[in-house]
C-alpha cells in the first residue's frame, strides 16, 4: 500500500509500497559558488561567483518568508549524493529527477552576458560529478537557457547522451518571447535528436518580482504565479504548433497542479475554432495536441472535496497524461501518499501515475 496520509517527519522512512514511485520534480539547491567550481578558470564570471559574499543567482522567492520555502524538519537540503539517497529512503522515491534551482532562474537574467550558459553547464557538470547515479535511481536534466537558444542546443548536443541525463528543462518564468516562438526551434530540434523530452517548469511566484505589481502578500502571487506561467507557455507552444513541427517531442509541464489543464485546453479549442487562420500549423484541435504530446506533473495536488469532479477533470485530459511530482524539499511538497489519499484511482491507475508514465516518458 502507498504510504499513509501523514507527511513523513523526523527521519522515519516511508515503506511497504506496492507501486514504483518516480518523482519527476525534486530540487537540488545549487548556489553560485557551487557552480563556480565547474566553470572555466579563465572565465571572468567564475571569479565573481567564487568571491561573492552572497549567492549571485537571481532569486524571486527568497528563503525568507514565514519560515522559508524549504522544509527543515525532514532530511534537509540535498547537497550531495548521500543526501539524495536519504531523501529517497525517507519519503519513498524509487527514482528521482533532480531539477536545479538555476534552471528556473536563469531565464530571469536580463543582461546580455554568458551567465545563463555558464550556470547551465556548471550545473550539469556538478550533477554528473556529485549526484547523478542511474543505478541508485538518481537522474537530472540539462537546464537550457532560453535567453540563448543556440547555446542551449549546444548543451543538449554535448550532454544529451550522458547516462542519467533524462530531459532538457526550460523555466516558464522569464522566457520571452514565449516558448512557442520559432527562435526556440533549435532547442526542440536538439532535444528531439537526443531523444529527450522537454520539461517546462512553472515559476513566477515572487511577491517582489511578480510582473503585476501591487499584490499585498505572497499567498496571492504564489496562488497564481506557477499556473499563470505554465498557461502562458502552453498556449504559445500549442498554438504555434511546436509538436506539429516536432512530432516526436514530449513536453512535460510541472508545478502547477492538475485541475486547470482540462478546462484550459477546451478554452484553447474555443479560440481555435473561431480563428483557425491564426494557427495555420495546426491540423487538429488544441486539446488533441495536449492529449497526444503534453504531460503534467501532479504537484501541488489541489484539495479534493468532490472526488467525482476531481476524477472527471483528470479523465478529461487523460489520467495517463499526469505523473507524480513531489517538489521536495519545498514546504508544500506532496509525498507519494498524496496520490493514494485522493481515493479515486484503481491500483493500475496508481501504478501509472506514481511511476509507470514517467518511466516511459523519461526512459528510466
193 within domain boundaries: yes
Burial of 66 (0-12, 13-18, 19+ CB in 10 A): exposed
Query: Domain residues for 191?
Result: 22-362
Tell me if the bond preceding 44 is cis, omega within 30° of 0: no
189 within a domain of the structure (yes/no): yes
Calculate helix-pair angle for 259-274, 286-293, nearest 10 degrees: 140
The three grid cell numbers given for residue 197, joined into one nine-digit string: 523530452
DSSP H helices, the chain, are: 32-36, 44-51, 81-87, 101-105, 115-130, 149-159, 185-193, 218-239, 242-245, 259-274, 286-293, 307-317, 337-341, 347-351, 357-362
Of 174, 182, 112, nearest to 143 by C-alpha is 174
C-alpha cell at 312: 472527471
Is 130 within the bounds of a domain? yes
Is 136 inside any structural domain? yes
Give the separation between CA 324 and CA 357, rounded to whole angstroms: 9
Angle at 356 between CA 351 and CA 358, to 5 degrees: 135
Residue 54 in 3-state DSSP? coil
pLDDT at 4: 34
> What pLDDT does residue 17 have?
66
**Alpha-carbon 66 to chain mean position:** 24
Q: What is the pLDDT of residue 5?
A: 36
State which H helix or E strand residue 28 sits in: strand 22-28
- Residue 201: the pLDDT is 95
Tens-binned pLDDT, residue by residue, of the chain (364 aa): 233 333 333 333 444 468 999 999 998 877 788 888 999 988 999 998 888 766 666 655 444 444 555 555 555 667 789 989 999 998 999 999 999 876 677 877 878 888 899 989 999 999 999 999 999 999 999 999 999 999 999 999 999 999 999 999 999 988 999 999 999 999 999 999 999 999 999 988 777 778 888 888 888 888 898 999 999 999 999 999 999 999 999 999 999 999 999 999 999 999 999 999 999 999 999 999 999 999 999 999 998 889 999 999 999 999 999 999 999 988 889 999 999 999 999 999 999 999 999 999 999 9
| HSE-CB of 17 using CA atoms within 13 angstroms | 26
Res 57: pLDDT: 67
Q: What is the pLDDT of residue 33?
A: 83
Tally of domains within the chain: 1
Longest CA span, the chain: 60
CATH classification at residue 223:
3.20.20.140
327: left (phi over 0), alpha (psi -120 to 50) or beta: left
Instruction: Report DSSP state, residue 251.
Output: E
What pTM, to 2 d.p., does this model score? 0.91
Cis preceding-peptide flag for 329 (omega within 30 of 0): yes
Q: Contact 146/107 with Cβ under 8 angstroms?
A: yes
Amino acid at each position: 500500500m502507498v504510504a499513509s496520509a501523514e507527511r513523513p517527519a523526523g527521519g522515519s522512512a516511508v515503506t511497504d509500497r506496492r507501486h514504483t514511485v518516480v518523482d519527476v520534480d525534486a530540487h537540488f539547491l545549487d548556489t553560485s559558488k557551487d557552480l563556480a567550481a565547474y566553470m572555466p578558470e579563465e572565465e571572468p564570471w567564475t571569479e565573481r561567483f567564487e568571491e561573492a559574499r552572497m549567492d549571485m543567482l537571481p532569486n524571486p522567492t527568497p528563503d525568507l518568508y514565514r519560515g522559508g520555502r524549504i522544509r527543515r524538519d525532514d532530511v534537509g537540503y540535498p547537497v550531495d549524493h548521500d543526501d539524495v539517497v536519504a531523501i529517497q529512503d525517507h519519503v519513498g522515491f524509487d527514482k528521482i529527477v533532480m531539477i536545479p534551482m538555476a534552471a528556473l532562474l536563469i531565464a530571469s537574467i536580463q543582461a546580455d552576458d554568458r551567465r545563463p550558459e555558464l550556470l547551465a553547464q556548471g550545473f550539469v557538470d556538478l550533477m554528473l560529478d556529485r549526484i547523478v547515479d542511474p543505478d541508485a535511481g538518481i537522474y537530472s536534466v540539462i537546464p537550457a537557457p532560453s535567453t540563448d537558444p543556440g547555446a542551449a542546443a549546444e548543451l543538449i548536443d554535448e550532454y544529451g547522451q550522458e547516462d542519467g541525463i533524462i530531459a532538457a528543462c526550460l523555466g516558464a518564468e522569464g522566457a520571452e518571447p514565449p516558448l512557442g516562438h520559432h527562435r526556440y526551434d533549435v532547442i526542440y530540434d536538439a532535444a528531439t535528436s537526443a531523444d529527450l523530452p522537454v520539461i517546462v517548469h512553472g515559476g513566477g511566484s515572487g511577491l517582489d518580482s511578480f510582473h503585476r505589481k501591487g499584490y499585498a502578500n505572497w499567498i496571492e502571487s504564489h496562488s497564481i504565479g506557477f499556473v499563470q506561467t505554465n498557461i502562458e507557455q502552453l498556449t504559445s507552444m500549442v498554438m504555434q504548433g511546436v509538436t506539429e513541427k516536432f512530432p516526436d517531442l514530449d513536453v512535460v509541464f510541472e508545478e502547477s497542479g492538475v485541475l486547470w489543464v482540462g478546462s484550459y485546453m477546451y478554452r484553447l479549442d474555443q479560440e481555435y475554432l473561431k480563428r483557425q487562420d491564426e494557427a495555420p500549423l495546426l491540423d487538429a484541435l488544441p486539446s488533441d495536441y495536449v492529449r497526444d504530446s503534453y504531460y503534467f506533473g501532479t504537484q501541488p495536488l489541489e484539495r479534493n472535496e468532490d472526488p467525482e469532479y476531481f476524477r472527471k477533470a483528470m479523465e478529461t485530459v487523460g489520467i495517463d497524461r499526469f505523473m507524480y511530482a513531489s517538489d521536495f524539499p519545498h514546504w508544500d511538497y506532496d509525498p507519494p501518499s498524496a496520490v493514494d489519499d485522493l481515493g479515486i484511482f484503481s491500483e493500475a491507475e496508481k501504478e501509472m501515475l506514481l511511476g509507470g508514465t514517467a518511466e516511459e516518458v523519461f526512459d528510466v
